[in-house]
Structure 1
């Protein structure tokens, strides 16, 4: 059985998730698991997909970066699948771990992908440090604090922190911080 797994990092990437699901269905995946979570967040659908697989199945993803965070993480996933007698197929690479060549290519590609990600993060850190030194980088504007008066007004009307957060489009924790700061 072909089992598909699709993931995007954010809710704004709905089209990307739909495209992955479309591609997975096109290759004949009978069961699909999908989620919208960052690469560092919990991957409940991935865990469920791996648990669902049985000997002889193939887990299918559209791209390597939709599956694994790093070479180590990829190795862990492949080992879990191999222990169950399950192969992994990555569509955009044409890689299938049911073959020795597929296993080798996947390991090499995973190493390159992890290297590129590390280089990108290093460039990002350097750019932020340079911008900070030039006074051009100040971080994001605190949106909740700008709404302090509104938070306190709604709180004074007897609204719950959850209702206030929803009405103003801010986090509940921010509402609590504003109320506690005003009480102090």
Structure 2
């Protein structure tokens, strides 16, 4: 049986999700699992799909990015499917792990994707270092530091650090750090 999995990260991507569903139905998927969630967080629908498939089934996705968030995550999914004797089809790549060629292609593609990500991260780090040297990049200002004046005002109004942290939605330790860095502004 062909089992389809469609995913979108946000509700604004409905057209993309509808296209995935249409493509999977045209392929002949008899069962569809659809989720609207980021690939980074929990994936309950993906888990349901993997639990649901049976020996001889094929889990079908339109693109690799709809299935896995990283190469290690992809291999975990593939291993779980192989344990159940279920193949994986990635339609836009023409990959079908039920065939030796499909397994070879998936391994090659996975390796290239991982290499590409590592090279991109190296280039990004080089660019950040260059920008820091030129004074163009300092990183983000911590949230609590941006609220220094408000933290001091609330403390001077008699609010305790734990309540300040809750009110401003910052960490309690951050509040203590701001107060310690500004002892002359805090009234005794």
- Per the TM superposition, whether the score is higher than 0.5 is yes
Q: CA deviation at 1:97?
A: 1.5
* Aligned position for 1:169: none
Which segments of 5 or more consecutive residues in structure 1 lack a partner in the other structure? 166-171
Structure with max Cα Rg: 2
CA RMSD of aligned residues (A): 3.2
Check whether the contact 1:58–1:86 (CA below 8 A) recurs between aligned residues.
yes
1:110-137: CA deviation from partner (whole Å, max 9, x where unpaired): 1111111111111101111111222221
* Aligned position for 2:20: 24
Check whether the contact 1:161–1:175 (CA below 8 A) recurs between aligned residues.
no
* Aligned position for 1:153: 154
| 1:45 to 1:30, Cα distance in 2 relative to 1, 3 A | closer
Check whether the contact 1:20–1:62 (CA below 8 A) recurs between aligned residues.
no
SS in structure 2 at match of 1:30: strand
Check whether the contact 1:5–1:49 (CA below 8 A) recurs between aligned residues.
no
| 1:23 to 1:48, Cα distance in 2 relative to 1, 3 A | same
Q: How does 1:49-60 map to 2 (within 5 A)?
A: 49-60=49-60
> Structure 2: how far apart are the matches of 1:150 and 1:37?
36
Q: How does 1:72-151 map to 2 (within 5 A)?
A: 72-151=72-151
SS in structure 1 at match of 2:117: helix
Q: How does 1:37-56 map to 2 (within 5 A)?
A: 37-38=39-40, 43-56=43-56
SS in structure 2 at match of 1:60: strand
Q: CA deviation at 1:183?
A: 6.4
Which segments of 5 or more consecutive residues in structure 2 lack a partner in the other structure? 26-30, 181-188
* Aligned position for 1:36: 38
| 1:149 to 1:122, Cα distance in 2 relative to 1, 3 A | same
> Structure 1: how far apart are the matches of 2:119 and 2:178?
44
> Structure 1: how far apart are the matches of 2:97 and 2:110?
13
SS in structure 1 at match of 2:143: coil
Check whether the contact 2:164–2:175 (CA below 8 A) recurs between aligned residues.
no
TM-score, scaled relative to structure 2: 0.70
The answer as to 2:4 corresponding to 1:3 is yes
* Aligned position for 1:164: 167
